[in-house]
Structure 1
Amino acid sequence: MSGVWPRGRTGTMPGVLSMRSNHAGFQGSVKTSANDFIVTEIDTLGRLLSESTAKTPRALGDTPAAPESCYPQSPCRSCPEPLELRREEVLGPFNSPSHAPVEGLSPAKGSTEHVAGTAPEGGHHEVGTLDSLLDESVNELLNQFACNIKDWWDSEHDPAAHPTEFSLGPVLDKRNRADLHSAIRQKFPFLMTVTKNNEIIVKANTDYKQLCQLVSEEEAFDFLKFLDAKLENSKFSFKPDGNKEHRKAVHHFVSQKFGKLVETKSFSVTDLNGQQNVAIIVRFREKSLSRKRPAADCQEKQDIYTGFTLRKENLETLEAISYLSSELGVLPSDFSYTGIKDKKAITYQAMVVKKVTPERLKEIGSTIEKKGMKVYNIHSVCQHLRLGQLKGNHFDIIVRDLKPQSNDFSADLKERISEAIENVKTKGFVNYFGPQRFGHGQNVQTDQIGLALLNEEMVKAVKLFFTPEDTDDPVNQAKRYFLQSDDAKGTLAMLPEFKVREKMLLRALNRYGLHHEGCTRGWLSIPHSMRIFYVHAYCSKIWNEAASFRFLTYGSKVMEGDLVLSEDNVGENSSLNDRVVLPMVGHSIKYPNNKVGQWYHERLAKDGLQTCSFRVSALQLNTPGCYRNILKYIHNLSYHFLEDNEKAIKTEEDSHLNESKASLLLSFDLDPSCYATVCLREIMKCEL
């Protein structure tokens, strides 16, 4: 990949994007070969995931990294709500929860007693089960639905104006359904679940809301978790209550709603201050526990998960998964990973595959090597990976054919390069999404498909999806044939087996037709994570353009109306400028209260999305949005110059670089969701 491509050429990031620094930069060729661009994940323990994970833990700089949002992600879970910077600069966190100390009671001998304000045993296990049973994107949508229910209850808005149900879709396996019912109720006691024709429907639990009118929300939350856990010989205690009439109302409510399952009694207790009081104790009726399926049976039927490190070369992550799923006989959705890696590179990343044993994965080793893949560190794990579940990425990059900018004659090349690297090391770079986010070098980029889906132009989205590249390989021959003939069945026969997404879509189109409804059914036939990938590409494009407008308008200085992260979310050493964030568009974000916010509204209107809710119900797509830091910094940076077939220059006093042979080796770490190509673009001052 040449570093001197003209702006706007296919393969670059969409649009002309402004840069952070004003140094001169230099020219060079990046990704001349896969060996010139090596990406290695840094796991949550700080280890490099190459052939062996037994590497020295790494620290990504002294400044704590702000929580990074990797779509899909719900703002109410892990993406910190930013603050709007006002003239008074009041920077306290929004809606910080404040939990009062909870009075404790000594458990009765020979039993497990749950006191209001404490979680029943097994709760963490159930939450883990939920994460492992649900696809990552569906799990995020469920979390968003749960947040919305709580928000509506806590606000004055009419809940009837919002969706009151959320479907997890059909779950055919009876044991999986039972585990999902239990896991959802354990994590969200204020929700209830029902099954309709193998489809799990999630609703608000009105019993929870009614109980909250009698006891604290904390007590109601813990009580319903206790009910669902059904631990033998367990008891639950509400907080001591000296009001007899109030206790009577609680007794009546529990008996009326759950009398077949539990019984209640009042007991004298001594609180933490040594004062006598009365508390309501709840215990299970013996016959109710006998109906519960033994826990051992649940453990026996749990799914198999195998973790491994994937080394791939000249392959996209989703393309590699298509190969692997085809060889292993599982679905692409059975694979999970922490992020998508570059195609034109050698990359090492963690993966987990469901329903495949370590032994089975080892069997395909020689087969997948022919496709440019190897697997290492194969081992059994308990559950899938989550997007963003890593500490960062390490990069080893060689920039070849170094030259000064065409109009730069004021300094020698080595000085220019050192100046550029040190400048970005100090000042950071604009945290754009890189070109691989949009389909590097493709005639139709992924953000165009995402825009068509958001506008519910299903047929157009399918046509864009099958737009061929300017090559004559079997895949592009098949795409070209489809656009010319609309023959889904014939195109199916032409495509290689590893093109799983294309084949899924074509089978649905062959069955339902190439019209709006048929194309909608076609998009529903591919995994949710792949559908929403295109929408996120469009959201990323808008973020890039917003960040560029922000720097052109205000520079790097924080301005009134900007959204900034509170110090609680970024650490003490972070400056105010480093804490500025911009929203990734979605239905649950706020916009800056300045010219940038106005720009967002005008830009979305240009694409016909001025009234878009960022929900496409027909495709089960729900984009809540999140926030992304404008500036990011390099960590653990080192570099040196190479000449004469990559022989390193030994001293800084050497003469000027021989431009025809000179290369630059860069080694550095970046936070999750940061792009090395974007960092290089800032250093070199040219499009990559």
Structure 2
Amino acid sequence: MNNKNNLEKQLGMHVFLTSSKGLGGKIKLYPEDFIVEEYLTNGLIAYIHPDLNQFQNFQNKNENKGSYQLCIMVKRNIDTLTALKYIAKAFKISEKRLSIAGLKDSKALTAQFIAFKKLKLKQPKVLFNGEIKIFPVKLINEPLNSSFLLGNNFTVRIRNIDLKFNEAKEVIESILKEIKDVGGIPNFFGHQRFGTIRPITHIVGKYIVKRNFEKAVLTYLGSSSFYEKPEIKKAREELLETLNFKKALQIFPDYLEYEKIMLKHLVNHPNDYIGALKRLPSRLRLLFVNAYQSFLFNEMLSKRILMKIPINKALEGDWVFENSKLVKVSHININELNKKIEGEKASLALPIIGYQSKLSNGIQGEIEKEILEKEGLTLRDFYIGVMPEASSAGGFRTALAKVKNIKFEIEENKNIVFKFFLDKSCYATVFLREIMKPKNLVEAGF
């Protein structure tokens, strides 16, 4: 089904998988409406209300020794990078001594693991007026990274649904049947990858990749949004018109911390846009480029679906994940690989564009080349010599995301609670957009 939502199209999501009408409604009216709990590959689970006794078995199997203190971080209504900044400040350590397995939603109540290098904790800590809680688990021998992450369990409440009980139930069952028939949902990078209030993360990334650092900085500082406060909108617009960094530094509010960090640099070094970007945390600089890669992936996946090319079946020239290995589909192995895809032992993969990317062949390869040409890109552009920490080699991502253990309950007040599990790097909002079909992403809570 074609998508009429202009904001989603700006993020590369041009299509819905399902044709059934949506529930409508709103998510994230309260952080507790969107609960995320992290699962690691070794069986550890970060619960919102952790029972630290659950880790006794893990401590008995492995000596409680190591240079890294593993903890559960429960945060409310705050994004992961900001939480890390506050934690580093509270413990008077560098952010480089903190490691995580994945980013979590900001307007939500989330639980995830965090590791502190060379710092031992014996008691839970409460920070940032109770919005961040740290629960020590055990010592481990290495920092966390994305390879530790299995996935996330979600509990999401959708409010303000206008449909009657039976109609809502029918809509949900119809959509879930369509998803089941295909075997999952399009594995788009979700809305929070780009922002919805001010969706500019991927645009900043695009300018970094194209080496237009001035535009990257001015987009981040000056691009305004209808949904921002009028005084912020006016301040950003004035900055773009005047390039008066000193005045902007005075009138930008303190909570725009990253903007003010850049402005302070530009006051003293007006033309040093690379330097201004380098004042930001390295994680954030890489996040900009990753967001642009995510946009390109969404564009490729949308184009494939709009061309009515299956995402649950491989064609010649496609790439397939088989037992964590990449296999190129040919006339020799196509039947065997599609049987494995049907049996959930393999899955179609599309490239995440980077300087070491291996493009597809066949029809999918044509889609990829067309999008790269449209954007004026070469693969080598993603190696950024003056900012190597923002370079990205690329990779692959499954075209289909499986939504597991789906349960829903329609409450007496007509709110609907969904519970489901997604593998790492898959987005709950991508599943919820199929369920809700929101007309206005911001008003719907996305």
TM range (shorter): 0.7 to 0.9
- Alignment correspondent of 1:584: 352
From 31, 35, 58, the equivalent of 1:34 is: 31
From 141, 144, 168, the equivalent of 1:413 is: 168
- Alignment correspondent of 1:430: 186
Q: Which amino acid aligns with 2:143?
A: H
Q: Which amino acid aligns with 1:634?
A: V
Contact 1:20 1:429 in 2 (8 A): yes
- Alignment correspondent of 2:333: none
The answer to whether residue 400 in structure 2 is matched with residue 631 in structure 1 is yes
Q: CA deviation at 1:636?
A: 1.9
Compared CA separation, residues 672 and 56, structure 1 to 2 (3 A): farther
Q: Which amino acid aligns with 1:564?
A: V
Compared CA separation, residues 430 and 542, structure 1 to 2 (3 A): same
State percent identity of aligned pairs: 27
Q: Secondary structure at the match of 2:381?
A: coil
User: What is the distance in 2 between the residues matched to 1:480 and 1:40?
Assistant: 39
- Alignment correspondent of 2:209: 454
The answer to whether residue 219 in structure 2 is matched with residue 464 in structure 1 is yes
Q: CA deviation at 1:580?
A: 0.9
User: What is the distance in 1 between the residues matched to 2:22 and 2:384?
Assistant: 44
User: What is the distance in 2 between the residues matched to 1:21 and 1:29?
Assistant: 19
The answer to whether residue 320 in structure 2 is matched with residue 564 in structure 1 is yes
User: What is the distance in 1 between the residues matched to 2:416 and 2:74?
Assistant: 24
The answer to whether residue 10 in structure 2 is matched with residue 7 in structure 1 is no
Q: Secondary structure at the match of 1:618?
A: coil
Q: CA deviation at 1:485?
A: 5.5
User: What is the distance in 2 between the residues matched to 1:382 and 1:493?
Assistant: 45
- Alignment correspondent of 2:334: none
Compared CA separation, residues 33 and 22, structure 1 to 2 (3 A): same
Contact 1:431 1:630 in 2 (8 A): yes
Q: Secondary structure at the match of 1:627?
A: strand
Contact 2:68 2:116 in 1 (8 A): yes
User: What is the distance in 2 between the residues matched to 1:395 and 1:551?
Assistant: 27
Compared CA separation, residues 566 and 6, structure 1 to 2 (3 A): closer
The answer to whether residue 155 in structure 2 is matched with residue 396 in structure 1 is yes
The answer to whether residue 293 in structure 2 is matched with residue 539 in structure 1 is yes
Per-residue deviation, residues 17-67 of structure 1 (Å, max 9, x unmatched): 22333334432222222111111111223343023265989xxxxxxxxxx
Q: CA deviation at 1:619?
A: 0.9
User: What is the distance in 1 between the residues matched to 2:52 and 2:186?
Assistant: 33
Q: How high is the TM-score relative to the length of structure 1?
A: 0.54
Q: Which amino acid aligns with 2:133?
A: K
Q: Which amino acid aligns with 2:266?
A: L
Per-residue deviation, residues 545-581 of structure 1 (Å, max 9, x unmatched): 1011111221334222211123564999642786111
User: What is the distance in 2 between the residues matched to 1:338 and 1:496?
Assistant: 32
Number of equivalences:
409
Per-residue deviation, residues 476-507 of structure 1 (Å, max 9, x unmatched): 78756755654556655666777654454344
Q: Which amino acid aligns with 2:50?
A: S
From 421, 431, 438, the equivalent of 1:679 is: 431
Please give the root-mean-square deviation of Cα atoms over the aligned residues, in Å. Answer: 3.4
Compared CA separation, residues 30 and 540, structure 1 to 2 (3 A): same
User: What is the distance in 2 between the residues matched to 1:35 and 1:421?
Assistant: 24
- Alignment correspondent of 1:519: 273
Query: Structure 1: 5+ residue runs without aligned partners?
Result: 58-298, 406-410, 645-661
- Alignment correspondent of 2:83: 320
From 646, 664, 668, the equivalent of 2:416 is: 664
Per-residue deviation, residues 142-176 of structure 1 (Å, max 9, x unmatched): xxxxxxxxxxxxxxxxxxxxxxxxxxxxxxxxxxx
From 384, 399, 403, the equivalent of 2:143 is: 384
Q: CA deviation at 1:587?
A: 1.7
From 322, 337, 342, the equivalent of 1:575 is: 342
Q: Secondary structure at the match of 2:376?
A: coil
- Alignment correspondent of 1:150: none
Contact 2:262 2:277 in 1 (8 A): yes
- Alignment correspondent of 1:358: 121
- Alignment correspondent of 1:52: 50
Q: Secondary structure at the match of 2:5?
A: coil
